[in-house]
Structure 1
Amino acid sequence: MKNSFIFVGLLLLLVPLVTAQLRFGFYNSTCPRAEQIVRKVIQQRFKNDPTITAAFLRMHFHDCFVRGCDGSVLIDPTSTTPSEKDAVPNQTVRGFNIVDEIKKKLETACPGIVSCADIVTLATRDSVALARGPVYAVPTGRLDGLISDPNLVDVPGPTFSVSEALQSFTEKGLTLMDMVILLGAHTVGHAHCDFFRDRLSNFQGTGQPDPTMDPALVKTLFKVCGTQSLPFKKDPTAFLDQTTPFIVDNQYYNDIRSGKGIMQIDQELALDPSSESFVSGFANDTLGFQRSFADAMVKMGSIQVLTGNDPAGQIRKNCRVFNPPTQR
């Protein structure tokens, strides 16, 4: 348990370099209670629903992998203009109502100061800590983007190979190690059976289960999901981490080493020669996982950020809607 928490001071020495205009304590003078307000809402929501950690990890990832961490995933579509929410990978992203609640409180405390992109970043950080993951500081100062286009949504899929997924990550300036640790976010949350049902009975058209999946897990999930030819009417879900599904820990890596990866990409991490050593390392190093996960989250949260007086950004009044053209 004590290894689950890392002092912020230590992490400040370990986090990678970030964009110059992002900084720790960005709102200290303009909205001193900003981080406290975010944390309080997340604490209250987490008490009733610990799955919000997985929801925010996914939201943050899907935001940052499309034009950078700019809150574009939060924009609602209209009858005439689609948004990133319309893209298939984003149709199961959730937690938007929590962002709305946080934004409303921040607008009351300090109108027009805190960006929606920073809210997502801070909410993710706080939900990770509540799930017994690392306690870490994040730099803030992001602006909200002015574009939300479903055609730009291109995130790694559950059936990607390691090399295919790595291409997506390297395009964002992330390394193989970053990818392995960020996919470790699958230590919490669940997946719909549609994403992995083929692995249970007809893997790659063979008519057989995926031979890399633990047979006992195949039987368990078969009862939950049904088959491709006879799926259940409602698409059920299964925990991505079958052992500690509500804790941000390194159990995920032990699971995939034992053939208990739910998604194909998860299982392949433990089998591919390029990533296997990272998987083994994190499986055997609780503190190393905690430290590396915090570092990678800060690094991902700095992808292509808009800061300062960049005309491509604004501070939205409502996280679901772009400000009118007359307002930045």
Structure 2
Amino acid sequence: MAYQNNLSSLTLLLLLVAFILANNVNGDGLKLGFYEKTCPKLEAVVQKITAEKISLAPSLAAPLLRMHFHDCFVRGCDGSVLIDSTKNNQAEKAGFPNLSLRGFQIIDDVKAAVEDACPGVVSCADILALVARDAIYQIKGPYWPVPLGRRDGRISIASESATLPSPLANIAQLKATFASKGLNVKDLVVLSGKGDTDPSLDSDYVPYLKSLCKPTDTTTLVEMDPGSFTTFDENYYTNVLKRRGLFVSDAALLNDYETSAYVKLQAQSHGSTFMKDFEESMVKMGQIEVLTGSAGEIRRHCRLIN
């Protein structure tokens, strides 16, 4: 059974991860209008293709947002999650946390259109950042500025995907993991992914979801947050408050004063500050450990190192 990586779960994930990694952000070299002279039609091209794809498959907006997060959290926002494995190397997308990523073909299609307009100019890392933003906007989510100028990394290793926060982590483990990176309790984040369910969660909710698939079914997608499959909202907080998250890391939010306070604020105020918080956090997240200047490369195809 494959649980759908729903958008509202990801909104919490990406809202908090930006705060988590704010001290690790290195956005030097990124700026708005970076391709103004070298590829002036870039954002229009990306927006057009992304809108066409998401209008046909709105459920892919959340996976594209998740893909952007997974890219940034491992080796920074360098497009390394897009690289295919070879006979000599298992790439990031072959790592367990990334096996459920979807939407790679959309990135390929956008990259092809950008290459037609401006050959060898725009990085895959920048394209992924723009597609994630435009996909969310297409389903009536917020629209945030995306400073550009990222370069593509040349290294992608499956085992490094293990550094992504685990959906099985309890609050003590999350504290230890992020403290090892110089991060405090306020920085805790929930990562959506596959894993077993938390025994402290609603005892009726998980069996209901599991009943929608046969025991051997690994392809059917089921919403973790019913009603938010193709919409951008703050409903995740309400579900977590009701203990209707699925993972240990969902429940962990309620076991810490600071993180539970934010969950309660958004659940009780219907996300009064969420959109603004999300926009600001996405800008920060997109600047994590970026390659700029002469570092890295500009890939001709996002799946292949030049």
TM-score (norm 1): 0.78
- What is the aligned partner in structure 1 of residue 40 from structure 2? 32
Verify: 1:279 aligned to 2:267, yes or no: no
Verify: 1:157 aligned to 2:179, yes or no: no
Amino acid in structure 2 at the alignment position of 1:29: K
- Give the Å deviation of 1:238: 2.7
- Give the Å deviation of 1:90: 1.4
The C-alpha deviation readout for 1:91-148, integer Å capped at 9, x for no partner, is: 2212111111111111110111110000110000111112222111111110001111
* Alignment partners' CA distance in 2, 1:140 and 1:42: 18
Secondary structure of the residue that 2:283 maps to in structure 1?
helix
TM-score (norm 2): 0.83
After superposition, the Cα gap between the structure-2 partners of 1:232 and 1:151, relative to the gap in structure 1 and judged at 3 Å, is closer
* Alignment partners' CA distance in 1, 2:182 and 2:110: 30
List gaps (5 residues or longer) in structure 2.
1-21
* Alignment partners' CA distance in 2, 1:54 and 1:304: 23
- Give the Å deviation of 1:243: 3.4
- What is the aligned partner in structure 2 of residue 305 from structure 1? 290
After superposition, the Cα gap between the structure-2 partners of 1:239 and 1:171, relative to the gap in structure 1 and judged at 3 Å, is farther
- Give the Å deviation of 1:250: 1.0
Q: Is the deviation greater in 92-101 or in 77-86?
A: 77-86
8 Å Cα contact 1:132-1:249 kept in structure 2: no
The C-alpha deviation readout for 1:51-73, integer Å capped at 9, x for no partner, is: 11111111111111111000001
Q: Is the deviation greater in 132-141 or in 67-76?
A: 132-141
- The structure with more radius of gyration: 1
Percent of pairs with identical residues:
38
Secondary structure of the residue that 1:97 maps to in structure 2?
helix
8 Å Cα contact 1:65-1:172 kept in structure 2: no
After superposition, the Cα gap between the structure-2 partners of 1:131 and 1:174, relative to the gap in structure 1 and judged at 3 Å, is farther
With a CA cutoff of 8 Å and minimum separation of 6, indicate the structure with the bigger relative contact order. Answer: 2
- What is the aligned partner in structure 2 of residue 98 from structure 1? 106
Q: Is the deviation greater in 168-177 or in 60-69?
A: 168-177
Amino acid in structure 2 at the alignment position of 1:127: A
Amino acid in structure 2 at the alignment position of 1:241: D
- What is the aligned partner in structure 2 of residue 61 from structure 1? 69
Q: How many residues align?
A: 281
| Equivalent residue in structure 1 for 2:305, among 314, 322, 325 | 322
After superposition, the Cα gap between the structure-2 partners of 1:87 and 1:63, relative to the gap in structure 1 and judged at 3 Å, is same
- Give the Å deviation of 1:213: 2.1
8 Å Cα contact 2:67-2:101 kept in structure 1: yes
